[in-house]
């Protein structure tokens, strides 16, 4: 974008990030950059810590090592108050939507506005209805979260995530468990909101087809490392057999179909053991 | 909005009911209603035997409760029981020849100090001492001595 | 044997870690109480779900416990010809022990388990995480109001339990069995002391409310965020609260009524 206005084109920079849970290393010296105004996808098989990465960016987890810079602020070193200041400018869409179950759609979207602004109720109403209109659910404002379908809940959550007009929205598996229509609706929303509101978006997903349609740039994570990055076109042409297997969804390849085990024939012949 | 209003009303009712319960316990169930121990003055009396009298046992005059026992000690030289009583300020006109006796309310009831005013014109003052005391009435001695003895042996 | 010891050592360590975490949690929750006072709406909502919704079970249980005490006490006391002291027996047992303890146990079962399940589910459905990401502190917003509501409700519930129980005892004792009403109330008033009985019972209920709410909220907040984790946490809430209430009751009773 306009390079004069910002010192760097990157809104988020991650340098030499390491993080482990127990003895498993989830990130091992990972570095990546998220460009302003773009939709960046972080892809990889389940269990590679994609959600963990979002939590690290949001400051909910602390890395063992490395820097996570969001808009010039190093997240792991921020005080609680400063961190909360940054978080007000980040919207996050959780996998389950994470709507507050004891209030209706309207109050859910109004929640961050009421918590962080002193706006009069009439102004809040206007803002809430605008955000709900943007996700097409203005008519559903009176419903409770348990009356919403999964796709609608995610759209409400999206309206809530953009309520404070953030600079960046993090999407945690936005397409998982959605039917094709709501998948299409969500993909369209993410794309259009990103351009109309001038957002920067990070999508964490293992849904190859939808994500690569809307992403401007893709990082592929596996075993705590980045094994490939580039525009969707570049990734699709990648010479890496691993990336090819991931993108096409082949059953066997560098990621084996079988969990490591001893020789099949030997195993069947070794009688007298329970396992 | 309707929903919240009913909810608030119920919360209000709940708090009122809870506080009413507390007041009920304080005033109706305990001795707070009949006697407040703030205002008052102290009298002492020596008894040869204060029997089953306890701290907080009532002190009454003509059947009306006018105070309560605040301490029971032993005088090490006379081997008498020194009973300290807290009397309500309203009853500050007890003559100095008042008699104190220990009675039992009913056969198995608790023991209390009964005061009997004399004819003197001077009144007992704070920290005053009642000289004429009666440890127990005859009837009680007759029935009670046996009971007390065995009770005391047991508690020893 | 060595393995057993090692296991025991490990368990002890986990226990201490959990105690440490729960103490930290308690401090944070107490720290948030001030901000609750600035937003009474949050507290009112919780007083409703913690206090009002426990009201019915507490009153009905109190009534029956009082009536049973009236019956049992009457039959035992009438053997000694001391039916007049029925009021003392009913009131003393309720105010000193049964009121705080039974309403504490019922409170843990009714309100405590609901709190754990609610918080655990909020955690499992990422609502707590979501709040954090919206720069709203879930401790201040979710935990502290519930904590305060629990601590405020419990003494009120226990007082109601005792009061209704005493009236229930009167129904049975005076109404059905013919104890003199004057004796029932008079002996009670003469024997029960405000400071020693009512205030001490009140303190007990306050402590039980504090402990039961603390356990319930911590178990919910600390729950493994899955359906199974939440159900386990709910069970732990009820069991741990019951143990704590009974254990603390013994200690408090020894301290309060020991030297009388």
Note the pLDDT tens digit of each residue in A43-75. 887 777 788 888 888 888 888 888 888 888 888
CB pairs under 8 A between A and C: 52
Is there a domain that residue B7 lies in? Answer: yes
* Residue A7 pLDDT: 58
B11 and B83, same domain (yes or no): no
Kindly state the average pLDDT of the residues A162-183.
Answer: 86
Is there a domain that residue B153 lies in? Answer: no
Say which residue, A5 or A13, is predicted with more confidence: A13
Is there a domain that residue B35 lies in? Answer: no
Is the separation of the CB atoms in C148 and C214 below 8 Å? no
pLDDT tens, residue by residue, C7-59: 888 888 888 888 888 898 899 888 888 888 888 888 888 899 888 889 999 99
* Residue A8 pLDDT: 67
B55 and B91, same domain (yes or no): yes
B4 and B75, same domain (yes or no): no
Could you give the CA distance from residue C212 to residue C243 in angstroms, rounded to a whole number? 10
B95, B86, B26, B79: which is closest to B55 by C-alpha?
A: B86
Q: Do B11 and C166 touch (CB under 8 A)?
A: no
Q: Do A101 and C134 touch (CB under 8 A)?
A: no
B20 and B75, same domain (yes or no): no
Rounded to the nearest angstrom, the gap between the alpha carbon of residue C182 and the centroid of all alpha carbons in its chain is 33
Q: Do B21 and C47 touch (CB under 8 A)?
A: no
B45 and B114, same domain (yes or no): yes
* Residue B37 pLDDT: 52
**Residues of chain C positioned with their CB less than 8 A from the CB of A157:** 130
B86 and B126, same domain (yes or no): yes
- Identify the band that residue A1 occupies on the pLDDT scale cut at 50, 70 and 90: very low
% of chain A surpassing 70 pLDDT: 96
- Identify the band that residue C161 occupies on the pLDDT scale cut at 50, 70 and 90: very high
* Residue B38 pLDDT: 60
List the helix and strand counts (H, then E) for chain A. Answer: 10, 10
Could you give the CA distance from residue A27 to residue A63 in angstroms, rounded to a whole number? 9
B25 and B92, same domain (yes or no): no
Nearest Cα residue in chain B from C77: B108
Question: What does DSSP assign to residue A75?
Answer: G
C positions 64-123 inside 8 Å of A (CB): 121-122
- Cβ-proximal residues to C205 (8 Å cutoff; 6+ apart), any chain: C99, C100, C103, C104, C154, C155, C157, C158, C159
Is there a domain that residue B152 lies in? Answer: no
CA distance C31 to chain A (A): 15
Residue A49 CA: distances (Å) to CA of A61, A225, A226, C198:
12, 10, 12, 57
- Identify the band that residue B2 occupies on the pLDDT scale cut at 50, 70 and 90: very low
pLDDT tens, residue by residue, B54-99: 777 788 888 888 888 888 888 888 888 889 888 888 888 888 888 8
pLDDT at residue C114 tops 70: yes
Q: Do C192 and B30 touch (CB under 8 A)?
A: yes
B49 and B26, same domain (yes or no): no
B62 and B136, same domain (yes or no): yes
Q: What subunits touch chain B, counting only 3 or more CB pairs under 8 A?
A: C
Which of B21, B63, B65, B111 to probe the C interface (max C CBs under 10 A)?
B21
Kindly state the average pLDDT of the residues C82-102.
Answer: 90
* Residue A4 pLDDT: 47
Domain containing B138 equals 41-144
Is the CB of C172 inside 8 Å of chain A's CB atoms?
A: no
- Identify the band that residue B142 occupies on the pLDDT scale cut at 50, 70 and 90: low
Kindly state the average pLDDT of the residues A151-178.
Answer: 87
* Residue C184 pLDDT: 86
% of chain B surpassing 70 pLDDT: 80
Could you give the CA distance from residue C121 to residue C221 in angstroms, rounded to a whole number? 9
Is there a domain that residue B12 lies in? Answer: yes
* Residue C158 pLDDT: 94
pLDDT tens, residue by residue, A67-110: 888 888 888 888 888 888 888 888 888 887 788 888 889 999 99
Is there a domain that residue B65 lies in? Answer: yes
CA distance A189 to chain C (A): 20
B23 and B75, same domain (yes or no): no
Q: Do B29 and C55 touch (CB under 8 A)?
A: no
**Residues of chain C positioned with their CB less than 8 A from the CB of B17:** 55, 156, 160
* Residue A6 pLDDT: 57
Say which residue, C213 or C85, is predicted with more confidence: C213
Is there a domain that residue B128 lies in? Answer: yes
Q: Domain total for chain B?
A: 2
B20 and B50, same domain (yes or no): no
Is the CB of C125 inside 8 Å of chain A's CB atoms?
A: yes
B10 and B49, same domain (yes or no): no
* Residue B50 pLDDT: 77
* Residue A66 pLDDT: 86
pLDDT at residue C258 tops 70: no
Largest CA distance in chain C: 70
Is there a domain that residue B20 lies in? Answer: yes
């Amino acid at each position: 974008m306009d390079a004069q206005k910002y010192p760097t084109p990157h809104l988020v920079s991650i340098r030499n990030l390491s993080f482990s849970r127990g003895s498993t290393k989830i990130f091992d010296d990972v570095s990546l950059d998220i460009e302003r105004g773009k939709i960046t996808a972080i892809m990889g098989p389940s269990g590679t810590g994609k959600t963990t990465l979002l939590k690290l960016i949001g400051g909910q987890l602390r890395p063992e090592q490395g820097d996570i810079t969001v808009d010039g602020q190093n997240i792991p070193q921020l005080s609680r108050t400063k961190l909360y200041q940054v978080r007000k400018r980040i919207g996050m869409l959780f996998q389950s939507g994470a709507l507050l179950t004891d209030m209706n759609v309207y109050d859910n979207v109004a929640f961050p506005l009421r918590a962080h602004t002193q706006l009069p109720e009439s102004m809040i109403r206007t803002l809430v209805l605008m955000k709900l209109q943007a996700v097409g659910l203005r008519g559903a404002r009176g419903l409770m979260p348990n009356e919403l379908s999964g796709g609608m809940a995610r759209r409400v959550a999206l309206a809530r995530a953009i309520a404070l007009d953030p600079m960046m929205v993090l999407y945690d598996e936005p397409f998982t468990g959605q039917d094709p229509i709501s998948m299409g609706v969500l993909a369209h929303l993410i794309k259009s909101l990103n351009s109309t509101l001038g957002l920067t978006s990070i999508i964490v997903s293992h849904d190859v087809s939808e994500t690569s349609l809307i992403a401007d740039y893709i990082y592929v994570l596996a075993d705590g490392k980045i094994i490939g990055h580039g525009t969707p076109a570049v990734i699709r042409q990648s010479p890496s057999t691993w990336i090819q297997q991931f993108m096409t969804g082949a059953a066997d390849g560098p990621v084996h179909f079988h969990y490591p085990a001893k020789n099949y024939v030997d195993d069947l012949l070794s009688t007298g053991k329970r396992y | 909005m309707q929903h919240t209003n009913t909810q608030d009303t119920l919360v209000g009712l709940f708090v009122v009911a809870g506080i009413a319960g507390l007041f009920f316990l304080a005033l109706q169930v305990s001795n707070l209603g009949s006697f407040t121990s703030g205002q008052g003055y102290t009298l002492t009396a020596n008894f040869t035997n204060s029997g089953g009298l306890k701290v907080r046992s009532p002190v009454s005059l003509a059947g009306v409760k006018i105070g309560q026992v605040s301490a029971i000690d032993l005088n090490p030289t006379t081997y008498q029981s020194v009973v300290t009583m807290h009397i309500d300020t309203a009853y500050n006109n007890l003559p100095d020849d008042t008699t104190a006796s220990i009675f039992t309310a009913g056969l198995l009831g608790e023991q209390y100090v009964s005061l009997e005013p004399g004819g003197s014109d001077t009144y007992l003052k704070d920290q005053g001492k009642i000289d004429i005391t009666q440890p127990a009435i005859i009837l009680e001695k007759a029935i009670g001595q046996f009971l007390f003895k065995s009770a005391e042996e047991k508690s020893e | 044997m060595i393995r057993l010891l090692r296991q025991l050592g490990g368990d002890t360590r986990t226990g201490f870690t959990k105690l440490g975490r729960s103490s930290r949690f308690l401090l944070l929750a107490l720290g948030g109480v001030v901000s609750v006072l600035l937003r009474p709406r949050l507290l009112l909502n919780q007083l409703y779900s913690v206090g009002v919704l426990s009201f019915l079970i507490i009153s009905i249980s109190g009534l029956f416990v009082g009536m049973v005490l009236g019956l049992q006490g009457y039959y035992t006391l009438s053997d000694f010809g001391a039916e007049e002291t029925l009021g003392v027996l009913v009131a003393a047992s309720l105010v000193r022990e049964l009121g705080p303890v039974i309403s504490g146990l019922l409170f843990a079962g009714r309100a405590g388990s609901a709190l754990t399940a609610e918080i655990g589910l909020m955690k499992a459905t990422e609502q707590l995480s979501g709040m954090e990401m919206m720069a709203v502190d879930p401790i201040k917003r979710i935990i502290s109001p519930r904590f305060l509501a629990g601590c405020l409700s419990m003494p009120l519930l226990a007082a109601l339990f005792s009061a209704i129980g005493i009236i229930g005892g009167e129904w049975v004792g005076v109404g059905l069995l013919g104890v003199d009403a004057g004796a029932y109330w008079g002996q009670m008033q003469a024997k029960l002391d405000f400071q020693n009985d009512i205030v001490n019972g009140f303190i007990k209920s306050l402590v039980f409310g504090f402990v039961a709410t603390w356990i319930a909220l911590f178990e919910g907040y600390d729950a493994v965020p899955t359906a199974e984790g939440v159900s386990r946490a709910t069970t732990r809430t009820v069991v741990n609260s019951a143990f704590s209430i009974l254990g603390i009751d013994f200690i408090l009773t020894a301290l309060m009524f020991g030297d009388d």
